[in-house]
Amino acid sequence: MTSAVRHDWSSQEIEALFALPFNDLLFRAQSVHRETFDPNAVQVSTLLSIKTGACPEDCKYCPQSARYNTGLDRERLLAVEKVLEEAEAAKAQGASRFCMGAAWRNPKDRDMPYVIEMVKGVKALGLETCMTLGMLNPHQAEALREAGLDYYNHNLDTSPEFYGDVITTRTYQDRLQTLENVRTAGMKVCAGGIVGMGESRRDRAGLLQQLANLPAHPESVPVNMLVKVKGTPFENLDDLDPFEFVRTIAVARILMPKSFVRLSAGRETMNDELQALCFMAGANSIFYGEKLLTTPNPEADKDQQLFERLGLHALQHEDYSDAVQEAVIADAVAEQEQPVRYYEVS
Centroid of chain to Cα 78: 22
Q: Model-level pTM?
A: 0.84
DSSP 260: E
Using 50, 70 and 90 to split pLDDT, how confident is the model at 247?
very high
pLDDT the model gives residue 40: 94
Q: Smallest Cα–Cα separation from 39: which of 309, 315, 286, 332?
A: 315
The DSSP-derived string for 17-56 is HHTS-HHHHHHHHHHHHHHHS-TTEEEEEEEEEEE-S-B-
The DSSP-derived string for 68-115 is S---PPP--PBPHHHHHHHHHHHHHTT-SEEEEEE--SS--TTTHHHH
Distance CA 333, CA 342 (A): 40
pLDDT the model gives residue 333: 42
Using 50, 70 and 90 to split pLDDT, how confident is the model at 192?
very high
Distance CA 134, CA 167 (A): 14
pLDDT the model gives residue 156: 94
Q: Smallest Cα–Cα separation from 32: which of 224, 261, 242?
A: 261
pLDDT in tens, 105-125: 888 888 899 999 999 999 999
The DSSP-derived string for 279-306 is HHTT--EEE-SSEETTEE---HHHHHHH
pLDDT the model gives residue 315: 82
Say how many residues make up the chain.
346
Which residues neighbour 38 within 8 Å (Cβ) at sequence distance 6 or greater? 315, 319
pLDDT the model gives residue 152: 94
The DSSP-derived string for 163-181 is HTTT-SSS-HHHHHHHHHH
pLDDT the model gives residue 92: 83
Residue 70 in this model has a pLDDT that exceeds 80: no
pLDDT the model gives residue 63: 75
Q: Smallest Cα–Cα separation from 59: which of 183, 154, 177, 188?
A: 154
Least confident window among 11-15, 35-39, 327-331: 327-331
Which residues neighbour 215 within 8 Å (Cβ) at sequence distance 6 or greater? 7, 183, 335, 336, 338
Using 50, 70 and 90 to split pLDDT, how confident is the model at 158?
very high
Residue 341 in this model has a pLDDT that exceeds 50: no
Residue 55 labelled as part of a binding site: yes
Distance CA 172, CA 160 (A): 6
Q: What percent of the chain has pLDDT over 70?
A: 83
pLDDT the model gives residue 287: 78
Domains and CATH numbers, the chain: 11-336 (3.20.20.70)
- The residue type found at 125 is L
Residue 262 labelled as part of a binding site: yes
Residue 278 labelled as part of a binding site: no
pLDDT in tens, 78-90: 888 899 998 988 8
Higher per-residue confidence, 226 vs 56: 226
Pairing of strands 260-263, 193-195: unpaired
| Cβ(219)–Cβ(190) below 8 Å | yes
Active-site residues: which are they? 55, 59, 62, 99, 130, 190, 262
Residue 330 in this model has a pLDDT that exceeds 60: no
Mean pLDDT of the chain: 84
pLDDT in tens, 200-242: 999 999 999 999 999 999 999 999 999 888 888 888 899 999 9
Least confident window among 74-83, 140-149, 197-206, 326-335: 326-335
Burial 34-62 (b: 16+ CB within 10 A, else e): eebbeeebbbbbbbbbbbbbbbebbbbbb
Pairing of strands 285-287, 260-263: parallel
pLDDT (mean) for 175-189: 94
pLDDT the model gives residue 69: 65
Which residues neighbour 150 within 8 Å (Cβ) at sequence distance 6 or greater? 97, 128, 129, 130, 187, 188
pLDDT the model gives residue 329: 39
Distance CA 1, CA 20 (A): 21
Distance CA 239, CA 226 (A): 8
pLDDT the model gives residue 179: 95
